[in-house]
Amino acid sequence: MTFSLAVLSRAFAAVGCALICQGAAAQGPNYKALLIGVSEYPGLPKSSQLSGPRNDVERLRSVLVQRGVAPAAITVLADGVEGAQMPTRGHILDQLGELARGAKPGDYIIITFAGHGSQVPVPAGHPMAAEEPDGLFEVFLPRDAQGWASTAQAPEGEARNVLYDHEIRAQVDRIAASGAFVWVIFDSCHSATMVRNGSSDNSVRLRQIPPEGLGIPQTVIDRAVARASAPRPSIRAGLAAPSNPGRAVYFYAAQTTEATPEMPLPAGQQPNRIHGLFTHLLAQTLEGGGGMTYRQLYQQVLARNGSTSQARSTPIAAGTQLDAPVLGQTAPKLRQWSLLGEGRLAAQAGALTDLRVGSIVAILPSAVAADAQALGYARVKRVTLGESELEPIEHEGKGARALRELATGAVARLVRPAPPLEFTVSVDLSRCGEKCLFDPAMALLKRASAPQPNDPPQLPIRWVGSGQAADVALVAVERRLWLLPPAMAGDPLCTKSTRATRPICEAELERGVAAVVAGSGATPQGTAETLQGMLRAAAKAENILRIASLSGQAGFAQQITTELQVERNGRRLTGAEWAQGCLDADPRYLLGPPSMASSICLRGQDRVQLEVLNKGNRAFDLTVLYIDSRFGVTPMYPGAGSVNRVEARASVRVPLEITDDVIGIERVVVFAVESPAAHAGTLDLSFLAQPSLETVEQTRSGARGEEDDAIALFRSAGFGEGLATRGVEHVTVPTRMGAQVFTWQVTRPGASSRP
């Protein structure tokens, strides 16, 4: 799914617990909180009753007040809590609707759910059926929930008074669209089992009721699953990008195949109370005080969860603002990753997450520890695409600690990045003319890219002459300097066009290739600065493709199947028609020689659907990136805020709508990473996004605006030491990570085209 809160569509399936938070307005956040806890279910069997949700609500209310939320801004719907309304379906929907209607920019809205979750079959023909590939809706059970029964409107039956995931999602979408920040907590599951801890009592209870626990016949479930598994006749439109992802963060108590428990906590201590384990760990971290980001909060909860003997689930975090400060309060900006444990010193980050051979990290005892609390330091010794092996070193006056001592840490925090990758650029100024502005600009650029002692890492460019192999070719034609892909380095660039066809050629070239135009008042210094920024973006896109090619399809062969479908004018094309599209293209609109085009030619308004199937028995994390001909990188999956974990035997459909705003060679890159450890969080590579390069008319100094954090972080465009052609041996491709690249040419049809 690719809309803003697709995460909530799978929230109960991803299980349980979501938080959504948003940044504050300049004058400080206007907090509003809705805390929902359901402990008693009069309409369900005695075995379905809980004890912890009422305690969760009171604990979270106390934490929010401690963190600066006014008590009057907190609304509680919970049974067993003095002064609270009952958490019925009607009351919950009313309060969610009121929050949505009143939400505005500057609001900071916290919503929590604690209670039972379950799954119910999707009725035949339901308008939301396409959003549930497993054929089951995830539901939260309010206090007045009742079991399965047939009605005139639902002859097959329906669960009465449940709260559907899409009902919650619709209200939260409205809040996010208003500009408010949302923090939603789900501490519930979609199935239930009684389990025991090491003692003989029933002190651990799972917050889940299976479909059969609601009295749903297995035949009804089987029919719903079969309907969801049936082939779909056409590609759905309008899902290419979320309409309004908003600023949001989501935390989930467990994955789709797991259960989240409640139990007496703190475990083994007196006094204690029954709490949901996830809520307890979350509150415990927040009660520690101090500023932290959502990513730090999640990493700390994850580490504590992994060290808890009663843990039966793996929390997941998602959202558009994981690096924002919790509750909009002050927090340092840090780059850190969880340690993988298992008796070795390794971080859950690698070539694609800004760790390179030679990078230095501090090993910290917790995700929220101060730098001064470092157990010691380590250097990245070896990287794969998703992991980094570390070795202890002496640094900052601390001696090299024993590996076994550092392996007890929680996170590795980046303190010194390694030098980035080399990027090769060819230059051809032969068609620039006399007094070429680009000549002195190139001299400045080459001088600036030469490394100097004590300089921070810069993009290391290797400059080569015209006609030599390069990652990008800079070719000047009169007042324009084009950034060309390698295959177009020898292109005439419209210089051989007739007077009649040259305007068309130049217009299409503009659509597919970025350039710098030497305008009135342009200076060599400003032009060099502009080119430096554009080359950084180009290097980033090219190195994503380079890394993908290293992994090849090895990881896909055993576990992952991908299928590409193309629909044009309402009809699905065959593979032969894809290739025919290149022959039918008007040559005036085909960038570069035909030999450089892929065997697939697409047109504006074509619809493409990529289906990724997990054939294996273990889950993997999926990221799909679209890289256009002007080096733009657009995440197509997951949608903003979505959880990107694909469970065993599950599939994901990623719809794309082709536009001809940018034409030329474009690629879709599919990365799949198997989770390296049971306690590890998801790996979402959407942060690699960047806008397409635009043609820039250089008029004056050309100084660039301040880079955002992501671009500054990746301005070197290096995602792993040794990934250059001559150093591939430094990077190994793990069998649990795979990548696949689909390439096509976007063009316009010729007069003879048919489909």
Is residue 333 predicted with pLDDT exceeding 90?
no
Predicted pLDDT at 421: 63
Q: How many Cα atoms sit within 13 Å of 467 on the Cβ side?
A: 1
Return the higher-pLDDT residue of 710 and 347: 347
Residues with Cβ within 8 Å of 405's Cβ and at least 6 positions away in sequence, in order, are 375, 376
Residues with Cβ within 8 Å of 255's Cβ and at least 6 positions away in sequence, in order, are 14, 15, 313, 314, 316, 619, 645, 647
Is residue 329 predicted with pLDDT exceeding 50?
yes
Torsion sign across C-alpha atoms 217, 221, 227, 229 = negative
Which tokens is 553 given? 């399809």
Give mean pLDDT, residues 609-624: 87
Predicted pLDDT at 674: 74
Gap between the Cα atoms of 378 and 361, Å rounded: 5
Calculate the alpha carbon distances from 587 to 8, 505, 593, 595 in Å: 46, 10, 9, 12
Predicted pLDDT at 650: 86
Read off the pLDDT band of 312 (50, 70, 90): low
Is residue 708 predicted with pLDDT exceeding 90?
no
Helix (H) or strand (E) holding 637: strand 633-637
Predicted pLDDT at 554: 47
Highest mean pLDDT among 12-21, 83-92, 462-471, 690-699: 83-92
Gap between the Cα atoms of 738 and 488, Å rounded: 29
Highest mean pLDDT among 236-245, 397-406, 418-427: 397-406
Which tokens is 603 given? 């047109």
Which tokens is 749 given? 């049809």
Read off the pLDDT band of 422 (50, 70, 90): confident
Highest mean pLDDT among 106-110, 484-488, 675-679: 106-110
Predicted pLDDT at 578: 64
Highest mean pLDDT among 63-77, 246-260, 448-462: 63-77
Q: How many Cα atoms sit within 13 Å of 723 on the Cβ side?
A: 34
Report the mean per-residue pLDDT for the chain.
75
Give mean pLDDT, residues 136-155: 85
Return the higher-pLDDT residue of 362 and 238: 362
pLDDT 10s digits, 197-228: 223 344 667 767 777 777 888 887 778 777 77
Predicted pLDDT at 110: 94
pLDDT 10s digits, 7-41: 333 333 333 333 323 333 335 689 999 999 999 99
Other C-beta atoms closer than 10 Å to the C-beta of 598 total 16
Predicted pLDDT at 704: 38
- Are 157 and 221 a contacting pair, CB within 8 Å? no
Predicted pLDDT at 509: 79
Beta bridge partners of 593: none
pLDDT 10s digits, 159-190: 899 999 889 888 988 998 899 999 888 887 64
DSSP annotation string for 475-534 = EEETTEEEEE-GGGTT--TTTTS-TTTHHHHHHHHHHH-EEEEE-TT--HHHHHHHHHHH
Residue spans of the domains in the chain: they are 11-232+239-321, 336-416, 423-533, 547-697+709-747
Torsion sign across C-alpha atoms 553, 557, 559, 561 = positive
Other C-beta atoms closer than 10 Å to the C-beta of 257 total 16
Other C-beta atoms closer than 10 Å to the C-beta of 404 total 11
Gap between the Cα atoms of 3 and 256, Å rounded: 20
Q: Where is average pLDDT lowest: 93-102, 216-225, 325-334, 473-482?
A: 216-225
Does residue 266 have a cis bond before it (omega within 30 degrees)?
Answer: yes
Give mean pLDDT, residues 248-263: 74
Give mean pLDDT, residues 28-55: 91
Return the higher-pLDDT residue of 731 and 676: 676
- Packed helices 277-287 and 294-306: angle between N→C axes, nearest 10 degrees: 130
Residues with Cβ within 8 Å of 64's Cβ and at least 6 positions away in sequence, in order, are 31, 33, 74, 110
- Are 384 and 351 a contacting pair, CB within 8 Å? yes
Gap between the Cα atoms of 109 and 99, Å rounded: 8
- Are 7 and 246 a contacting pair, CB within 8 Å? no
Phi, psi of 381 (to 5 degrees): -95, -40
Question: How large a percentage of the chain has pLDDT more than 70?
Answer: 74
Give mean pLDDT, residues 44-54: 89
Read off the pLDDT band of 733 (50, 70, 90): very low
Helix (H) or strand (E) holding 666: strand 664-674
Phi, psi of 284 (to 5 degrees): -60, -40
Highest mean pLDDT among 58-67, 259-268, 548-557, 745-754: 58-67
Gap between the Cα atoms of 10 and 647, Å rounded: 12
Q: How many Cα atoms sit within 13 Å of 708 on the Cβ side?
A: 7
Fold of 11-232+239-321: Rossmann fold (3.40.50)
Residues written for the chain? 755
Highest mean pLDDT among 30-39, 65-74, 395-404, 481-490: 30-39
Architecture of the domain whose range is 547-697+709-747: Sandwich (2.60)
Which tokens is 28 given? 């400080």
Gap between the Cα atoms of 755 and 357, Å rounded: 50
pLDDT 10s digits, 113-139: 999 888 888 888 788 777 777 778 888
Highest mean pLDDT among 498-507, 689-698, 738-747: 689-698
Gap between the Cα atoms of 736 and 684, Å rounded: 15
Gap between the Cα atoms of 559 and 539, Å rounded: 31
What CATH code would you report for 336-416? 2.40.10
Gap between the Cα atoms of 755 and 520, Å rounded: 46
Is residue 245 predicted with pLDDT exceeding 70?
no
Predicted pLDDT at 703: 40
Predicted pLDDT at 212: 76
Is residue 362 predicted with pLDDT exceeding 80?
yes
Predicted pLDDT at 625: 92
pLDDT 10s digits, 339-355: 987 778 998 887 666 67
Predicted pLDDT at 192: 26
Is residue 449 predicted with pLDDT exceeding 70?
no
Give the Cα-Cα-Cα angle 4, 277, 172 (nearest 5 degrees): 20
Helix (H) or strand (E) holding 566: strand 560-568
- Are 656 and 669 a contacting pair, CB within 8 Å? no
